[in-house]
Amino acid sequence: MSLRYHAACCQTAFPCPKKRSEIPARIDHMVQMMHHAVGGYEPFFDVRLLVFPEFAHAAPTMSLADLREQLAVELPGDSLTPYIKACQELGCFVWTGTFLERDSNFPDAVFNTTCLVGPTGLLAKYRKVNPWVPWEVHASPHDIADYPDDPFPVVETEIGRLGAAICYDWLFPETLRELAFKGAEVLVRVSAYMDPWGATPPMDWWTLFNRARAAENTACVVACNQGASLAGYPPFSWPGGSMIVDHDGRIMSQADPGEGEKIVVGPVDVSAVRDARSRRRGHDMRSHLRRSMHGLPPGPGLSPATEHPITSESLEARLSRAKGQLPDQQ
């Protein structure tokens, strides 16, 4: 059965908040954007996945102590209830914009966190592994000794296997490869990627890395960028340019670069991802990775040849074994 639907990137442009009491109004507005996206495009196609940008709820612009006292929230908690209700009403899934999260298990830490929410409730939390140093001094799971949770969750849903990473994480191919090796078919980017590294040449890193991560992992990418202006976050401004990219790195839909709220929708073809991953022997980079040459721990990838000379038949056998190690190909 074909699994194809549309995703909506819902760019926001809120000013930088100063206190926790500002967050509920933002949530109400974003839930309204969800209804607009799903309802407005219903005559044309089904919007099943919605993504919001980094800093949609709060941004780390204070000291850590002030962030904990003034802006950080506990997750799960009341902040997710409106999203769960909207997903139940609309039959959709949402990767929320990021929260600043406090957790009683880590009393000295503040995390930058996005949540996957569906009709049944909270499905996953992703805490930013690579904060944008030196400006972002909040915690990463990497900073927590014996961190107890999976830092790279991938969730099996009725719309495919979903994984997410936040903004600067995407400049590290290892982060997205980790999700892809766990079977993620749709890679979600929750981002606040600022000028001059946005969607405009010559420094259009936003476009470059979204397309590269899609192609190298044979995965769809749904990338939502922040659209806030310089007035809210000096000296930074965010150029939007949210996009949906297919598994070959083709941009399927994109918002015009520029600040401001926007909703851009585009197709996500999970069946095409599955077909490509199953069918391909060429450009199947996940199974072709020669791990031992990169000092990586054992895992899926192409094993060294054990017989010489190498023949087409022995190579095909190694490729077949490598593909069979991938969790979504077993």
List, as one string, the DSSP characters of 99-157. EEE--TTSTT--EEEEEEEETTEEEEEEE-SS--TTT--SB-GGGSTT--S-SS-EEEE
Q: Identify whether the C-beta of residue 168 lies closer than 8 Å to the C-beta of residue 130.
A: yes
Mean pLDDT split into 10-residue runs, the chain, 330 residues: 94 93 97 98 98 95 89 96 98 98 94 98 98 90 94 98 98 97 97 92 96 98 94 87 98 94 98 97 94 87 87 89 90
**One domain, residues 270 and 286:** no
Number of domains in the chain: 2
**One domain, residues 168 and 317:** no
Whether the bond between 131 and the residue before it is cis, its omega within 30 degrees of 0, is no
What is the pLDDT at residue 233? Answer: 84
What is the pLDDT at residue 135? Answer: 87
Contacts of 9 (CB under 8 A, 6+ apart): 51, 222, 223, 224, 225, 242, 243, 244, 255, 262, 263, 264, 265
Q: Identify whether the C-beta of residue 120 lies closer than 8 Å to the C-beta of residue 93.
A: no
Task: State which of 278, 302, 320 marks the end of a domain.
Answer: 278
CATH code of residue 93: 3.60.110.10
Whole-model pTM: value is 0.95
**One domain, residues 217 and 292:** no
**One domain, residues 262 and 285:** no
Task: State which of 278, 293, 318 marks the end of a domain.
Answer: 278
Q: Identify whether the C-beta of residue 244 lies closer than 8 Å to the C-beta of residue 220.
A: yes
**One domain, residues 98 and 148:** yes
**One domain, residues 160 and 269:** yes
Give the separation between CA 225 and CA 254, rounded to whole angstroms.
11
Q: Identify whether the C-beta of residue 271 lies closer than 8 Å to the C-beta of residue 23.
A: no
Give the separation between CA 243 and CA 256, rounded to whole angstroms.
9
Domain that holds residue 50: 4-278
**One domain, residues 187 and 81:** yes
